[in-house]
Amino acid sequence: PISSSSQTFSVEAIGTVLSPYKQKFGIPRQPGLVKYATGIIELHEKYSRPEAFDGIEQYSHLWLEFYFHQTADADWKPSVRPPRLGGNKKIGCFATRSNFRPNNLGLSVVRFDRIEIQHGKVRLHISGHDLLDQTPILDIKPYIPYSDSLPDAQAGVFEKEPEQTLNVHFSNQANQDLAIHQQQYPNLTSFIQEVLIQDPRPAYMRTKANRNDFSIQLYDLDIKWRVEDNSIEVIEVIKL
Ligand code: SAM
């Protein structure tokens, strides 16, 4: 609904994402980088109408328009320091995909795995997303390759995926922990590996030798890991 004839509008979420990413730290910086990240979009009652999703099975990917709810209270920043530029070079907000932007709108293309309709309630299973748990979804549209895929597009330094320079390995303790938790989360080892290989550390920490122990929460698990030289060791995986 349009609140007035001015340039101010109000929108309503159509659903919410259930995601293994419980905190911002560790979430990949774009979709598609961590394929084992699964999620579910639960449609709110008003929009949970099977006929509104009729035909959606033919698509492999969907565009999600969403609200950066966790950073929405912060002011937008006209210039930002993208982690890809080492965290010390500024560029304009509209030249980045920063979440500190006017209107707090996010846009991600994700893999669409399947639709589930139970007792008239609609849930969409997705993967490869970059969304925090409980992210409000504002709209869903199909990804249409002939129009949306632009192989000739240029993106300067952002053109290619970041290079992966780290290798990830698991301690004996972590392997024992994973053997237990994999029963509940079948692709857990690959998921953790894909998350960590992105090097989630903030740019300024990548050079600090004395702060090299970290923890990331995925699902209800605390993943403890350590960086040494070019190597990440997963130390243990504890149920929270
Ligand atoms: N692909 C989207 C886009 O281009 O609009 C998001 C890009 S943004 C750089 C990705 C980061 O947003 C993630 O790494 C995570 O830290 C953050 N994020 C994801 N969901 C969020 C939410 N609901 N609220 C605030 N930040 C969120």
* pLDDT of res. 218: 98
**Across 76-105, average pLDDT:** 93
Q: Express each pLDDT in 49-85 by its tens digit.
A: 999 999 999 999 999 999 999 999 999 999 999 888 8
Give the span between the Cα atoms of 180 and 41, in whole angstroms.
27
Ligand 1 pocket at CB < 6 A: 24, 27, 29-31, 68-71, 97, 99, 106-108, 130-132, 135
Atom of ligand 1 nearest to the CA of 108: 1
* pLDDT of res. 4: 56
Q: Express each pLDDT in 139-148 by its tens digit.
A: 999 999 999 9
Give the span between the Cα atoms of 142 and 147, in whole angstroms.
11
| SS3 category, 42 | strand
* DSSP label of 125: E
Ligand 1 centroid to residue 28 C-alpha, Å: 8
Sign of CA dihedral 194, 198, 202, 208: positive
pLDDT at 211 over 70: no
Average per-residue pLDDT for the chain: 94
Q: Domains along the chain? A: 15-157 (2.40.30.70), 163-239 (3.30.2310.20)
pLDDT at 210 over 80: no
pLDDT at 128 over 70: yes
Share of the chain above pLDDT 70, in %: 96
Nearest CA to ligand 1 atom 17: 24
